[in-house]
Amino acid sequence: MIDIGSIPNVPPALIYLAGAALIPLLGTGRARKVYLIVLAVLGLIGVALLRPQTGWGFSVLPGFELTLLHVDSLSLIMGYIFALIGGAAILYSVNIVKESGEFVCALLYLGSALGAVFAGDFFTLYIFWEIMAFSSLGLIWYSRTERATNAGMRYILFHLLGGCALLGGILIHYMDTGSIAVGPVELGIGYVLLLIGIGVNTAFIPLHTWLPDSYPKATIAGAVFLSVYTTKTGVYVLARTFPGVEAVAYMGGVMCLYGVAFALLQNDVRKLLSYHIVSQVGYMVAGIGIGTYIGINGGIAHVFNHILYKALLFMCMGAVIYATGKNNLTELGGLAKKMPITTITCVIAALSISGVMGFNGYVSKSMVIHAAELEGMHILALALIVGSVGTFLSFLKLTYFTFFRRNDEIEAKEVSLPMLIPMSVTAFLCVALGVYPQALYSILPYKEIAMHFNPYALGHTIGTLELLLMTAVGFFTLQFLFSPHERVTRDIDYLYRKAGRGFIWFCEQPLVTVANFIDKGLLKLADAVVWFSRNPTAASRIMVVMIGAVVTRPFNPTYMRYARDLEELKRSYPGEVPKVAIGTAVLLALVLFTLYLIIYLTHGVLWV
């Protein structure tokens, strides 16, 4: 291992985790703002200084080493974009976040995400994975609304499920292989559990519902952070553990179409964006599942590009909500003149996510679709193309009804400079990487392969342009179909909630009824034992007379005499209790002990 005193090889996660600890000491004034900006710069420098094939770790037990820093081309590109957009999100937040606790959660979330992508072993990965889950929960709960509290509870329940599955898979993998290094997993129960655990964070269908449920209810700044780290960390771990799994590739196609379909139905701007996280992560998952060099390059390139334009979209919609106090498309419109910089940056982000030529999303989407076509996965390629059409429709809807539709009643003004600077820089990067994709190719895992890919091949470019033009014409021709409406769209979580309520009803009604019945029965049995023990001789006589009365009742004319004798015995019970000699009591105890030994020897030993 490299000397831990070497600054370039200190895990960048430690910068943010240590930095979070000092936030409560700085108050809420200028000192905190300066500190946060310096911390963001230090984190970015810390990642930039890392070099491939270096590491940092320590031994816990002989032969058992935890690796806090494992640097290669895959972890490095993730580190670059995480630190870059983390710095942008911090700058965006300095004027709008009032509570220090929210910054603590954001820095823990950012630090743990970096810790997860640079982790060289599964146990270190799991620790940072869980810190991510709980710190991100704070970004939802700091909204301090009932809806956010309930959504946060559902969010953490999903991630606890995913964390348990991940840990189970790690333990089984370790027992099977003796290795804790992050890498491909052998087929078996551990394989399935790991895939489920990663699938929760990556928003596999139907494990995705926590995302569109919780992200729209987070704080304005919190939603920017949330849009970046959880799902992309999941994609990264998927690339480490399940590359080339065909079922994973087709899951990506399902996610792409499913997310787009639900996004088109949304009225809440951040819920629309949240469903597009599911859809866009589908492209990444598809690329990883294809598993070829071009496929993995495409998936990781789309992670990089998506983080840029998706964070930008959440920044823009956060600015709109901050300026207007409204988050539904039915309430918005007319903001293009009032918020011109926000409008321009949002349009750039919308064109990027839609895969328009000249913007970064076009490059990475083209790479993934090309990889699918090369492998003969034509159905998958078609799903991804249809997803692109749906994405363009969604963002025509979002930008038109937010900024360009006439609305003379709305009042707003452009947001402050600390919000506009990261939005503008991120928008510039979306354009720069679309115009000059070689800058992105040079940091991809297989850069030699990437350098030979030309997204602007004439046939592909013309075909994409035709598709986009037809989509735009269709939107404005059939605009009434895409107009936002106040309606509730039910996702699969509706079934989960119904099932949860059914389970609670089962626990409260039938299950409790059975439990009460058993409880009453046991109490009656206990009472009977106590009654019998008060005078076993008299109790035995009562029981014999009672049985005789019941048996002879149908055909014995002297039944009433039995009944009178029984009532007399019951009234006189327990009467005078006969005394048993000590010797007799000892003999009875020995007989019972002998019976117990016989039962134990025949059933407890001989049958083992």
- In the predicted model, what is the mean pLDDT of residues 188-196? 94
Tokens (6 digits) for 332: 């918005």
Residue 6 pLDDT class (50, 70, 90 cuts): very low
Domain residue spans of the chain: 1-242, 243-485, 521-577, 578-608
What digits encode the pLDDT tens for the residues 259-284? 999 999 999 999 999 999 999 999 99
- In the predicted model, what is the mean pLDDT of residues 85-103? 94
Please determine, for residue 580, whether its predicted confidence score (pLDDT) is greater than 80. Answer: no
pLDDT: which is higher, 53 or 202: 202
pLDDT value, residue 589: 75
What digits encode the pLDDT tens for the residues 437-493? 999 999 999 999 999 999 999 988 999 999 999 999 998 888 877 788 877 778 887
Q: What is the pTM of this model?
A: 0.84
The span from the CA of 183 to the CA of 185, in Å, is: 6
pLDDT: which is higher, 203 or 64: 203
- In the predicted model, what is the mean pLDDT of residues 501-517? 77
pLDDT value, residue 605: 46
- In the predicted model, what is the mean pLDDT of residues 397-414? 91
pLDDT value, residue 554: 64
SS3 category, 455 = coil
- In the predicted model, what is the mean pLDDT of residues 166-177? 93
DSSP 246-269: HHHHHHHHHHHHHHHHHHTT--BH
- In the predicted model, what is the mean pLDDT of residues 12-39? 92
Please determine, for residue 543, whether its predicted confidence score (pLDDT) is greater than 80. Answer: no
Q: Which of 56-65, 274-283, 290-299, 561-570 comes out lowest in average pLDDT?
A: 561-570
Helix (H) or strand (E) holding 57: strand 55-61
Q: Alpha helices, DSSP H only, in 325-416?
A: 340-353, 360-374, 378-399
pLDDT value, residue 513: 79
Please determine, for residue 424, whether its predicted confidence score (pLDDT) is greater than 90. Answer: yes
Q: What are phi and psi of 443, to 5 degrees?
A: -115, 5
pLDDT value, residue 60: 73
pLDDT value, residue 357: 94
Say which residues have a Cβ less than 8 Å from residue 205's Cβ, sequence separation at least 6: 251, 254, 255, 258, 278, 492
What digits encode the pLDDT tens for the residues 136-158? 999 999 999 999 999 999 999 99
Please determine, for residue 558, whether its predicted confidence score (pLDDT) is greater than 70. Answer: no
CA trace torsion 175, 181, 186, 191 (10° rounding) = 80
Q: How many angstroms from the chain centroid is the CA of residue 141?
A: 16
pLDDT value, residue 392: 95
Residue 52 pLDDT class (50, 70, 90 cuts): confident
Residue 4 pLDDT class (50, 70, 90 cuts): very low
Mean pLDDT score of the chain: 88
pLDDT value, residue 509: 76
pLDDT value, residue 53: 84
Q: How many angstroms from the chain centroid is the CA of residue 88?
A: 23
55: DSSP letter: E
- In the predicted model, what is the mean pLDDT of residues 367-394? 95
The span from the CA of 184 to the CA of 245, in Å, is: 11
**Residue whose entry in the numeric block shows the structure tokens 């996660």:** 13
pLDDT value, residue 468: 92
pLDDT value, residue 555: 62
9: DSSP letter: G
Q: Alpha helices, DSSP H only, in 509-535?
A: 510-534
pLDDT value, residue 550: 66
Helix (H) or strand (E) holding 382: helix 378-399
pLDDT value, residue 266: 93
Q: Which of 54-63, 180-189, 217-226 comes out lowest in average pLDDT?
A: 54-63
pLDDT value, residue 380: 96
